[in-house]
Structure 1
Amino acid sequence: MGFRLTPQDTSFFSLFATSAGLLVDATRELTRFLEVEPSGRSAIAQRLRDLEHAADDSTHEVLKKVNSSFITPFDREDIHALAASLDDCMDLIEETADLIVLYHIGDLPTGLTQQFEILARMAEVTAEAMPRLRSLKDLSSYWIEINRLENQADELHRAMVAELFNNATDAVYVIKLKGIIDGFEDAADAFEKVAHVVEGIAVKES
């Protein structure tokens, strides 16, 4: 890492940890969609909206700090990219979960259970990695695991879409459910984007 003339503002790391922790909370709420009747899903969607608002606040705080800090832990562009990619994960989870309510989906396909499990694991691994940004050590296992999980998510997505097209007969239902399946796959892609940003920072600052 390059020589720094003045102390860094370490509060960035706490904010990134907060954002990642909110993603863990969000993926736990996702699993509750599988545990309640359709009538109970609106309350879960509201909790996800609350988490999304909290994540927005954390992101805005990061951006405010970037603009007001003379010295940052790493390049400002990388801080912006990491904050934005964490926020994208939350946005996609919240927006896609809301579609389950808005589209009045009844029984959820079994593949969603696996999608939620993958997203939950991605959130946990991401949250575990954020404190290691301080030292930028022992991070390679993080992006390797995220890449493995994203490949798993890709395979599951293809299988779910194929099953939907092969077996569903209601065209409107197909359109609705594919939007949901695609949205959660986009969330998995967003977690991989976070890992790519972290890997780029680690390479640049090493």
Structure 2
Amino acid sequence: MDFNKFLRYFTPKDPSFYPLFEKDALNLIKTAEVLKLLLSTEDIEQQETYIKQIKDLEKIGDDFTHTIFDQLNKSFITPFDREDIQQFTSNIDDVVDTINGVAQRIRLYKPKTYIPVYLEFAEIIYLAAKEIEFSVNLLTDPSGNNEKITQSCIKINTLENKADELYHMGISMLFENEKDPFELIKKKEILETLEKAVDKAEDVSDAIKTILVKMA
């Protein structure tokens, strides 16, 4: 057992991190929920309402990130390695930022219509967010919950694989059906940003798996 692991084992963990992790994950779920609503309507006024909500949630996510980093600087003993907390927190923030990126592109480009795979992507992002939240809630005991967390991470990987297939399907649909080159460019960039959000969710899963390995 290396010294840092030895120290963590015999020193009380700072409990203040866990509520922050859990609230950060819940904010991610809420952001994903609003993304589903945004991609369920082509009404401009409704879109603007949801875009504003996502931006507000993105700011809340930034606040959580800054609070966690501040707590890292103040804490002598942390529940996991500092770099892993920083990576894990940054990755959650990246997912929320990328969802906001989707919303801002919709506001900027104003596509005339959505392609069907957009909403399917939103559902995948939401399901990945739910798995992230599930895993985060189990991080109070990574060793005891190792199997459950591992299975949740596998589900996120499966969702990412599904998103890859969906992306290729969406690209094919775009080039086959969209005759307006400007609309094609707009819709393609929105699609790419949706796929990026799923990739960022998998990055969270990878960070959680790193924590599991180190805490084993």
Range class of TM-score, shorter chain: over 0.9
Aligned equivalent of 1:116: 122
Identify the match of residue 69 of structure 1 among 54, 70, 75: 75
1:104 pairs with one of 110, 118, 127: 110
Q: Does 2:18 align with 1:13?
A: yes
Amino acid at match of 1:165: F
Q: For each residue in 1:119-151, what CA deviation from the matched residue of structure 2 results, as whole angstroms up to 9, or x when unmatched?
A: 111111111110111101121111100000000
Q: Does the Cα contact within 8 Å between 1:92 and 1:186 map onto a contact in 2?
A: yes
TM norm structure 1: 0.96
Poorly superposed stretches of 4+, deviation over 4 Å: none
Aligned sequence identity (%) = 34
From 152, 167, 170, the equivalent of 1:160 is 170
Query: Residues of 1 paired with 2:23 and 2:201: CA distance?
Result: 15
CA distance in 2, matches of 1:152, 1:13: 31
Structure 1 portions without partners, runs of 5+:
none
* Gap runs ≥5 in structure 2: none
Q: How does 1:112-191 map to 2 (within 5 A)?
A: 112-136=118-142, 137=145, 138-191=148-201
Q: Secondary structure at the match of 1:169?
A: coil
Contact 1:19 1:55 survives alignment (8 Å): yes
Say whether the 8 Å CA contact 1:38–1:106 is kept in structure 2: no
Give how far 1:36 is off.
5.6
Matched position secondary structure for 1:21: helix
Aligned length: 206
User: Which region of structure 1 is more displaced relative to structure 2, 35-44 or 123-132?
Assistant: 35-44
- Note if contact 1:143-1:199 (Cα within 8 Å) is conserved in structure 2: yes
- 8 Å contact kept, 2:41–2:47: no
- The aligned counterpart of 1:52 is 58
